[in-house]
Amino acid sequence: MVERVVRLIQGGVTSAQGFVASGVHCGIKPEKKDLALVYSRAPASAAGVFTTNKVKAPPVLFNMERIRSGRGQAVVLSSGNANSCTGEQGMRDAREMAELTAHYLGIADDLVYVCSTGIIGRPLPMDAIRQGIPEVVRLLSPDGTTAAEAIMTTDTVPKAAAVQVPIGAQVVTVGGMTKGAGMIHPQMATTLTVLTTDAAVAPPVLAAALRRAADQSFNRITVDGDRSTNDTILLLANGEAGVPEITGPGDALEAFQSALTTAAVTLAKMLARDGEGATKFVEIVVRGAQNDADAHRAGQAVAISPLVKTAIYGGSPNWGRILAAVGASGAEVAADRVAVWMGPVPVAERGVAAEDPESAEEAARYLAGEDVQITVDLGLGKGEATVWTCDLTEAYVRENAGLLS
């Protein structure tokens, strides 16, 4: 087994060799940056995963068809308007965005992917985008900061990460940027994410690696249980690190998978931490399940429960809500075997309150922090899973109560 030493570094979507990016304000939003571009100087292998929502935005449908080629070189992304539920006009607009980007980059238009995020049901302001695309191409640079800023909607901070791992005699980098704060729930991801790497990976291998990484990261987060119409993760691998192409199982693929998953998990946690209105980041660990799938099921049920999430916000160690969520999750559960901890504090044992009469007060003090861990042991087997979420606050309601939110 190869020793996989994955190292987090400062950086983002342009950290891998051969990638540049930019972000500009073109007029989709009143003031903030709203158009981003990520570009590889060499054509790359490409892979993607997309929303499981049956209502898919035109850019998603466009990308799902294009990704079959397994090739790509650029991703153009707009924010402030989802180009979703916009019919044939929406598809024409997505196609024009790709064609314009390809024209100004001087590349084949079938190597360009298109993403949009924002309000659903409005046509794209294409006049603004037509003016913005040549500008975003002109400003391409090795600094990916403006691109990460330009894809934000209700996010409070830009989200970027990068990691490195040795493969053979070379070092491979995986970088990325993501966005999302609301309408976040598993079953692909609720996000726009662009990942880049200077590894050389055959398209079918890249696609499988991305799916595994997404299942361990973006499919394990939830903010509010709602799934977007625009969810997209795109991964470009341009081979500029000089490592031989990864075409199948082996030490190189294991190392690359480890780096890719680490980058994806890092970005996914950023999404949960920046949930709309959130004041606490919550990690839910389920162990002792009959299998990993049951553990994930139980963890997701806890993470999505409004009663659990509001209790965490209020600092209430109400472990009964956690047991109720686990019992309704569909996982195999024997109530008299379940134990619950809030951080290091046992609050329930064998399905009843912990014997220590001071545990509730200790747990309440623990919940006052900004980082919370809930551990549930089902006492049935060796299945384990971890899910990430946030608390649920009045600010979430205010953020989403508007007519066009």
Q: What is the pTM of this model?
A: 0.88
Higher pLDDT, 219 or 267: 267
pLDDT of residue 44: 98
Report the pLDDT averaged over residues 207-234: 83
Does residue 56 contact residue 229 with C-beta atoms inside 8 Å?
A: yes
Q: What is the mean pLDDT of the chain?
A: 92
Question: How many C-beta neighbours within 10 Å does residue 306 have?
Answer: 12
Name the residue type at position 38: V
Nearest to 182 by CA among 327, 385, 397, 403: 397
Higher pLDDT, 397 or 365: 365
pLDDT of residue 223: 66
pLDDT of residue 355: 87
pLDDT of residue 1: 39
Residue 364 CB contacts under 8 Å (≥ 6 apart), including other chains: 315, 316, 317
Report the pLDDT averaged over residues 382-390: 94
Any idea where the domains of the chain sit in the sequence? 7-273, 281-400
Between CA 22 and CA 141 the distance in angstroms is 6
Does residue 109 contact residue 76 with C-beta atoms inside 8 Å?
A: no
DSSP strand pairing (192-197 vs 170-179)? antiparallel
Nearest to 158 by CA among 180, 188, 175: 180
pLDDT of residue 211: 94
Does residue 38 contact residue 176 with C-beta atoms inside 8 Å?
A: no
* Topology annotation, domain 281-400: Ubiquitin-like (UB roll) (3.10.20)
Residue 396 CB contacts under 8 Å (≥ 6 apart), including other chains: 182, 224, 275, 276, 277, 278
pLDDT of residue 266: 96
Could you tell me the two tokens for 298?
Answer: 């139980």
pLDDT tens-place string over residues 164-182: 999 989 999 999 999 875 5
pLDDT band of 224, cuts 50, 70, 90: low
Between CA 230 and CA 285 the distance in angstroms is 29
Flag whether pLDDT at 271 surpasses 90: no
pLDDT of residue 264: 96
Using the 8-state DSSP alphabet, how is residue 328 labeled? T
Between CA 259 and CA 262 the distance in angstroms is 5
Q: What CA dihedral angle connects 218, 188, 112 and 115, to 10 degrees?
A: -80
Report the pLDDT averaged over residues 194-217: 96
pLDDT of residue 399: 76
Name the residue type at position 57: A
Q: Based on the residue annotation, tell me whether 154 is a catalytic residue of this protein.
A: no
pLDDT of residue 403: 42
Flag whether pLDDT at 158 surpasses 60: yes
pLDDT of residue 226: 56
Q: In angstroms, what is the C-alpha Rg of the chain? A: 22
Per-residue HEC secondary structure of 82-94 comes to CCCCCHHHHHHHH
pLDDT tens-place string over residues 299-349: 999 998 999 999 999 999 999 999 999 999 999 999 999 999 999 999 999
Does residue 386 contact residue 265 with C-beta atoms inside 8 Å?
A: no
pLDDT of residue 182: 53
pLDDT of residue 4: 65
pLDDT tens-place string over residues 240-264: 999 999 999 999 999 999 999 999 9
Does residue 172 contact residue 165 with C-beta atoms inside 8 Å?
A: yes
Alpha helices in 71-161 (DSSP H): 87-105, 126-138, 145-150
Could you tell me the two tokens for 281?
Answer: 């980041």
pLDDT band of 405, cuts 50, 70, 90: very low
Q: Of these residues, 146, 190, 222, 389, which one is catalytic?
A: 190
pLDDT band of 42, cuts 50, 70, 90: very high
pLDDT of residue 322: 96
CATH for 7-273 is: 3.60.70.12
Does residue 292 contact residue 245 with C-beta atoms inside 8 Å?
A: no
Instruction: Say what percent of the chain tops pLDDT 90.
Output: 80
pLDDT tens-place string over residues 89-146: 999 999 999 999 999 999 999 999 999 998 899 999 999 999 999 999 999 999 999 9
Nearest to 176 by CA among 83, 246, 112, 265: 265
pLDDT of residue 116: 95
179 forms bridges with which residues in the sheet?
192
